[in-house]
Amino acid sequence: MPRTRYTNIDNVNTDRTLKQFRQWREERRRKKKDYSYIIPNSPPQLDYLQENRTETSVTWIGHATFLIQYGGLNFVTDPVWASRMGFQRRIGTPGIPIGDIPEVDVILLSHSHYDHMHISSIRKLYGANTTIIVPVGLARKLRRKGFKRVMELSWWEHLEMGRVKISFVPTQHWTRRTLFDMNTSHWGGYVLELAHTNEGEQEHVVYFAGDSGYFRGFEEIGKRYKIDIALMPIGAYEPEWFMTSQHTTPEEALQAFLDVKAKLMIPMHYGTFRLADDTAREALDRLEEDRKRRGIAESAIKILLHGETLRYPESGQTK
């Protein structure tokens, strides 16, 4: 029976030829890059994180891995505590040791690439009451690994857990883990909303963008949801001619932030693994230059350190 192969909006193709890959490798050998800047670690607020079940908080572990406390639940996105990814050693250390993470209610996987779905990390986080939410096509792979509570979503579908409505939204990307499973599961991001609010409670909507190139889907997400916090990828974009369809540049990430109409942007997907030729310092500098060029308030972008927690809302976070 033929396997389903998933595609992007407008059938945008992210495939690259062997010739293009070799060209990139040749370019890389000629480049001289300064990789000395390492994202600092901030001492994590472990007592707060263990006890918190009421406030919205976002803690950056590194890359696309966050601990998000929302609606009384603990979420972890794209868990990767690995010390290396293929031949690449991790740059810096995770913001919180995996053993210090509070009991996890929900693991959100954006897609199956190794830098977003690390099975050993998932095993360590997976408890008696943990549910894993994955893109359509991926549940079978996780169940074969022994995880029983796995739920699939297609684009624009949602489910509710406790008080939280979890929606799966499009990205522009691709996926593969073996020679034979190219695009046999989908990819996307997640929006967290409260299914219902208590009296006097203010809802804050969180958007985790996963891994994506720039595409018109960001505007559609902005039309459908009233987003407060957007976790946006800004790294792994160089060389742009090779990466453009699958990873946003810092400038494109900032445009996507404007497209989804969020109040606060938290950059991610940079400075943890050397997936491309850009550096963490370059990504942050380009983001800051474009913020100034567009006249966006400095307070609209929160640069987290590894292990740093944003407790939302904080004063002065407006565009």
Mean of pLDDT values over 106-133: 97
Q: How far is 315 from 306, CA to CA, in rounded Å?
A: 22
Q: What is the pLDDT of residue 202?
A: 78
Q: What is the pLDDT of residue 225?
A: 98
Mean of pLDDT values over 106-123: 97
Asked if residue 40 lies in contact with residue 284, where contact means CB atoms within 8 angstroms, the answer is no
pTM of the model: 0.95
Residue 269 has pLDDT above 80, yes or no: yes
Residue 164 has pLDDT above 80, yes or no: yes
Mean of pLDDT values over 94-101: 98
- In three-state secondary structure terms, 139 is helix
Four-residue CA torsion sign, 104, 6, 188, 64:
positive
Residue 18's φ and ψ, nearest 5 degrees, are: -60, -35
Mean pLDDT of the chain: 94
Greatest Cα pair distance, the chain, in angstroms, is 61
Residue 315 has pLDDT above 90, yes or no: no
pLDDT band at 87 (very low <50, low <70, confident <90, very high): confident
Residue 83 has pLDDT above 80, yes or no: yes
Q: What is the pLDDT of residue 201?
A: 73
Residue 36: both structure tokens together: 């000395």
* Residues above pLDDT 70, as percent of the chain: 97
The tens digit of pLDDT for each residue in 173-213 reads 999 999 889 999 999 999 999 987 777 677 899 999 999 99
Q: What is the pLDDT of residue 316?
A: 39
Q: How far is CA 222 from CA 115, 144, 265, in A?
A: 27, 36, 14
Residue 52 has pLDDT above 70, yes or no: yes
Entry field: residues in the chain = 319
Strand order in the sheet with 158-161: 158-161, 164-169, 189-194, 206-208, 229-233, 264-268
Q: How many Å is the Cα radius of gyration of the chain? A: 19
Q: What is the pLDDT of residue 319?
A: 37
Planar angle of CA 268, 269, 273, nearest 5 degrees: 135
Four-residue CA torsion sign, 156, 153, 194, 256:
negative
H helix and E strand count, the chain: 8, 15
pLDDT band at 151 (very low <50, low <70, confident <90, very high): very high
Asked if residue 288 lies in contact with residue 280, where contact means CB atoms within 8 angstroms, the answer is no
For the chain, domains (ranges, CATH) are 44-311 (3.60.15.10)
Which amino acid, 236? A
Q: What is the pLDDT of residue 203?
A: 83
Q: What is the pLDDT of residue 306?
A: 98
